[in-house]
């Protein structure tokens, strides 16, 4: 039976959801320590009948060879809780304490009282039980050394409610915003404090991780919070003389390139940092870096590399030859990705392997922006000059019986045509924003990011992008949020229709009539020139497009788009390297046309056709490649103190 004090305490906490004591009592209730096969009842009551003439030593039940009718032996009852196939068996994730209590409740149920619980438990594990408040009833656990309250909803803890005997306190995955609530006063014997995956932020947190609050702290885990000031945090940690294990990864402060070297050099007694052993050689590599910590730039540095694109369909083979009046069609291909930028717009550096001034495709889009705000003009809007030009070309096409907007593919002679751009380049942010409403939404950057692009390349089986870009970010919290969200990588096909510019008609006087002799002499010269050309076997020149062309706004088509997860960079990985696979987009028809165009009929081909053994058909060997692109995002980290000092010079 429960004592009167425990009953009163139970009435106070009963019905109060979210308290730790309520969660503990609910857990004990689910163990069914006073129900069959545990506790006392008709299944074992003869063993525990009160006998006043016995001494207190004889009150302890003893096993007997025989039991009364309708009762079970201790072995039989223990078998019911130990067997995995029994309906009374505990769950697989039950702790060793749970198993011990169940067996104790069978062997000696008279010991199962509140006083026993409060003195027995040295470890208390309440995980994912919706606890929001650590009430003072936890102080009744007189010998509690380990308290694990992970994956709950605790925002703060009154340190007065924590037993002074605690050596381990874990609060992973809660909503704690400050360490200060644990320091008034902190448990003096605490050796391990786990506060990972909470909401800790601000430079003031470093004031609470000092030896005055945690004099015996050996292990500290502050990973995956929002701590940004590495220098101030290290100042507080330096006072913890017994600190040997430290976890800071997952915080924005761990994104700076000198993070590990500066921490290792500042905390000379540290043995393990972010679950990686600190070796003597590593300490030697970063010796002296802590002295120059204030001179190092507090920014994260990323390098984005985009390699080869494969599996792109050659759209030009589906177009017929252009006519004299156009349009002349050209195709190019490029890869886009979005990347976060500082609010001041100075977060990206264009100065790596292949610099391109037009690599930014779109302006930064703030999180509150909408498509209507980004695109003030109606869908499909273009400049006034372009509208007049298109109307003129359509009218001319109608007069000649042809459509001015018919899609005509480019030929081999027009694939490299590039004429002067329109008065306002299509690569500019303003022009792209005008076209965006009629483009695929995947061509628009995510809120708070900027869209970057590789250089446009013509079609080949393997399109080498050779792209490398360095991004410097001073706002570390924005950088962490971006890594958690990932970047969207997109392969884009750009189709441009070019039209000949018609000369302005100018009235001129008619030429004077020439005599018949002059006319005959002209025809004679023309025939002589033609015969001379035939004798010299001069090949006919291919029809070339006019030199002066005007372009329509490009038509963009998304060939493939996918998300690249960057969270491993927060978890300690130095780079994320992947090959984005968007599936097969090529068709048998287009590849046959491409193959026929590229493999011109040579003598070897003719010999194969005449041979008795038939060559394998294109269809039998056809295995289309999927659309892929090679992507790598690297988080720069200094590997020695020399690299850190070189960055100061640069």
pLDDT tens digits along 435-470: 444 556 777 777 778 999 999 999 999 999 999 999
pLDDT at 565: 95
351-384 exposure pattern, b = at least 16 Cβ within 10 A, e = fewer: eeeeeeeebbbbbbbeeeeeeeebbeeeeeebee
8 Å CB contact between 632 and 576: yes
pLDDT at 569: 95
Give the number of other Cβ atoms within 10 Å of residue 22's Cβ.
21
Query: Which of the pair, 75 or 226, is modelled with greater confidence?
Result: 226
Q: Look at residue 533 and tell me whether its pLDDT is greater than 60.
A: no
Which of the residue ranges 28-32, 288-292, 383-387, 598-602 would you say has the lowest mean pLDDT? 383-387
pLDDT at 412: 30
CA dihedral 63, 68, 71, 76 (to 10 degrees): 40
Average pLDDT over the chain reads 76
Q: Look at residue 305 and tell me whether its pLDDT is greater than 80.
A: yes
Binned at pLDDT 50, 70 and 90, residue 324 comes out as: confident
Average pLDDT (513-542) is 55
pLDDT in tens, 546-558: 567 788 888 899 9
8 Å CB contact between 57 and 24: no
Short-list 487, 485, 492, CA closest to 585: 492
Which of the residue ranges 68-77, 193-202, 487-496, 622-631 would you say has the lowest mean pLDDT? 68-77
The angle formed by the CA atoms of residues 599, 600 and 605, to the nearest 5 degrees, is 85
Which of the residue ranges 108-112, 318-322, 432-436 would you say has the lowest mean pLDDT? 432-436
Average pLDDT (290-295) is 83
N- to C-terminal Cα separation, the chain: 76
Element containing residue 281 per DSSP (H, E) = helix 280-285
Query: Which of the pair, 446 or 200, is modelled with greater confidence?
Result: 200
Question: 405: which DSSP letter?
Answer: T
pLDDT at 356: 46
pLDDT at 147: 94
pLDDT at 198: 96
Main-chain phi, psi angles of 555, to 5 degrees: -100, 120
Q: Look at residue 383 and tell me whether its pLDDT is greater than 90.
A: no
Q: Look at residue 408 and tell me whether its pLDDT is greater than 50.
A: no
> Of 248-257, 381-390, 397-406, where does the model show the most confidence?
248-257
pLDDT at 265: 95
> Of 74-78, 113-117, 186-190, where does the model show the most confidence?
186-190
pLDDT in tens, 137-195: 999 999 999 999 999 999 999 999 999 999 999 999 999 999 999 988 889 999 999 99
Measured distance CA(134)–CA(439) in Å, rounded: 54
Measured distance CA(319)–CA(328) in Å, rounded: 10
Q: Look at residue 418 and tell me whether its pLDDT is greater than 60.
A: no
Binned at pLDDT 50, 70 and 90, residue 603 comes out as: very low
Measured distance CA(361)–CA(358) in Å, rounded: 7
Q: Is the Cα torsion angle 221, 224, 225, 230 positive or negative in sign?
A: positive
CA dihedral 116, 121, 126, 131 (to 10 degrees): 60
pLDDT at 374: 30
Quote the strand ranges of 83-209, DSSP E.
Answer: 123-125, 146-148, 168-170, 192-194
Q: Is the Cα torsion angle 327, 328, 332, 337 positive or negative in sign?
A: negative
Environment class of 317 (CB within 10 Å of its CB; exposed 0-12, middle 13-18, buried 19+)? buried
pLDDT at 532: 54
Which of the residue ranges 160-169, 228-237, 251-260, 514-523 would you say has the lowest mean pLDDT? 514-523
pLDDT at 393: 45
Cis bond before residue 37 (omega within 30° of 0):
yes
Q: Look at residue 377 and tell me whether its pLDDT is greater than 60.
A: no
Short-list 442, 466, 436, 440, CA closest to 454: 466
Share of the chain above pLDDT 70, in %: 68
Which of the residue ranges 286-290, 444-448, 497-501 would you say has the lowest mean pLDDT? 444-448
Average pLDDT (624-633) is 93
Binned at pLDDT 50, 70 and 90, residue 635 comes out as: very high
Q: Look at residue 261 and tell me whether its pLDDT is greater than 80.
A: yes
Measured distance CA(203)–CA(217) in Å, rounded: 21
Q: Look at residue 378 and tell me whether its pLDDT is greater than 80.
A: no
8 Å CB contact between 448 and 330: no
pLDDT at 40: 82
Beta bridge partners of 334: 492
Query: Which of the pair, 275 or 527, is modelled with greater confidence?
Result: 275
pLDDT at 410: 35
Q: Look at residue 10 and tell me whether its pLDDT is greater than 80.
A: no
Token pair 């694109």: residue:
309
Which of the residue ranges 339-353, 414-428, 467-481 would you say has the lowest mean pLDDT? 414-428
208 Cβ contact partners less than 8 Å away, ≥ 6 residues apart? 178, 179, 180, 182, 183, 236
Q: Look at residue 294 and tell me whether its pLDDT is greater than 50.
A: yes
As given in the structure block, the two tokens for residue 563 are 């998300």
């Amino acid at each position: 039976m429960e004592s009167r004090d425990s009953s009163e305490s139970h009435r106070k906490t009963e019905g109060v959801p979210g308290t730790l004591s309520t969660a503990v009592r609910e857990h004990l209730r689910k163990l069914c320590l006073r129900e069959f096969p545990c506790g006392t009842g008709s299944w074992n009551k003869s063993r525990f009948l009160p006998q006043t003439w016995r001494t207190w030593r004889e009150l302890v039940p003893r096993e007997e060879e025989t039991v009364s009718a309708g009762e079970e032996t201790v072995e039989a009852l223990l078998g019911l809780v130990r067997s995995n196939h029994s309906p009374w068996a505990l769950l697989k994730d039950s702790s060793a304490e749970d198993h011990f209590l169940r067996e104790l409740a069978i062997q000696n149920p008279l010991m199962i009282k509140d006083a026993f619980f409060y003195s027995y438990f040295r470890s208390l594990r309440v995980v994912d039980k919706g606890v929001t408040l650590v009430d003072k009833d936890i102080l009744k656990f007189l010998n509690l050394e380990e308290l694990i309250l992970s994956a709950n909803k605790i925002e703060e803890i009154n340190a007065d409610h924590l037993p002074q005997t605690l050596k381990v306190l874990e609060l992973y995955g809660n909503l704690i915003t400050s360490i200060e609530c644990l320091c008034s006063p902190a448990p003096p014997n605490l050796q391990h404090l786990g506060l990972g995956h909470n909401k800790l932020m601000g430079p003031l947190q470093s004031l609470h991780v000092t030896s005055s609050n945690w004099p015996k702290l050996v292990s500290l885990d502050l990973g995956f919070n929002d701590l940004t000031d590495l220098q101030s945090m290290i100042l507080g940690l330096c006072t913890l003389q017994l600190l040997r294990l430290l976890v800071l990864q997952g915080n924005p402060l761990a994104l700076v390139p000198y993070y590990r070297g500066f921490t290792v050099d500042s905390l000379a007694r540290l043995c393990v940092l972010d679950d990686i052993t600190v070796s003597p050689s590593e300490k030697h590599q970063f010796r002296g870096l802590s002295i120059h910590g204030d001179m190092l730039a507090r920014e994260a540095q990323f390098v984005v590399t985009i390699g080869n694109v494969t599996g792109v369909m050659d759209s030009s083979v589906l177009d017929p030859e252009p006519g004299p009046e156009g349009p002349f069609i050209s195709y190019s291909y490029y890869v886009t990705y979005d990347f976060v930028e500082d609010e001041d717009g100075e977060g990206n550096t264009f100065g790596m392997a292949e610099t391109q001034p037009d690599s930014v495709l779109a302006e930064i889009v703030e999180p509150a922006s909408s498509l209507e705000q980004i695109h003030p003009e109606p869908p499909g809007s273009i400049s006034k000059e372009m509208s007049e030009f298109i109307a003129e070309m359509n009218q001319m096409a109608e007069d000649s019986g042809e459509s001015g907007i018919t899609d005509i593919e480019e030929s081999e002679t027009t694939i490299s045509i590039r004429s002067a751009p329109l008065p306002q380049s299509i690569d500019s942010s303003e022009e792209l924003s005008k076209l965006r409403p009629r483009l695929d939404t995947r061509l628009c950057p995510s809120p708070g990011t900027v869209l970057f692009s590789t250089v446009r390349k013509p079609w080949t089986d393997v399109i080498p992008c050779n792209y490398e870009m360095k991004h410097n970010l001073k706002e570390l919290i924005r950088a962490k949020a971006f890594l958690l969200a990932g970047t969207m990588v997109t392969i884009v096909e750009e189709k441009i229709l070019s039209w000949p510019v018609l000369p302005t008609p100018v009235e001129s006087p008619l030429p004077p009539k020439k005599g018949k002799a002059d006319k005959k002499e002209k025809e004679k010269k023309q025939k002589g020139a033609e015969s001379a050309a035939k004798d010299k076997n001069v090949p006919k020149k291919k029809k070339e497009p006019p030199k002066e062309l005007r372009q329509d706004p490009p038509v963009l088509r998304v060939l493939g788009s996918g998300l690249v997860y960057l969270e491993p960079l927060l978890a300690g990985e130095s780079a994320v390297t992947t090959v984005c696979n968007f599936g097969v987009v090529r068709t048998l028809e287009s590849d046959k046309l491409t193959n026929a165009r590229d493999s011109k009929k040579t003598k070897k081909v003719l010999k194969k056709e005449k041979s008795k053994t038939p060559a394998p058909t294109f269809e039998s060997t056809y295995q289309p490649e999927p659309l892929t692109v090679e992507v790598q995002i690297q988080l720069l980290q200094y590997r020695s103190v020399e690299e850190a000092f070189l960055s100061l010079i640069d």
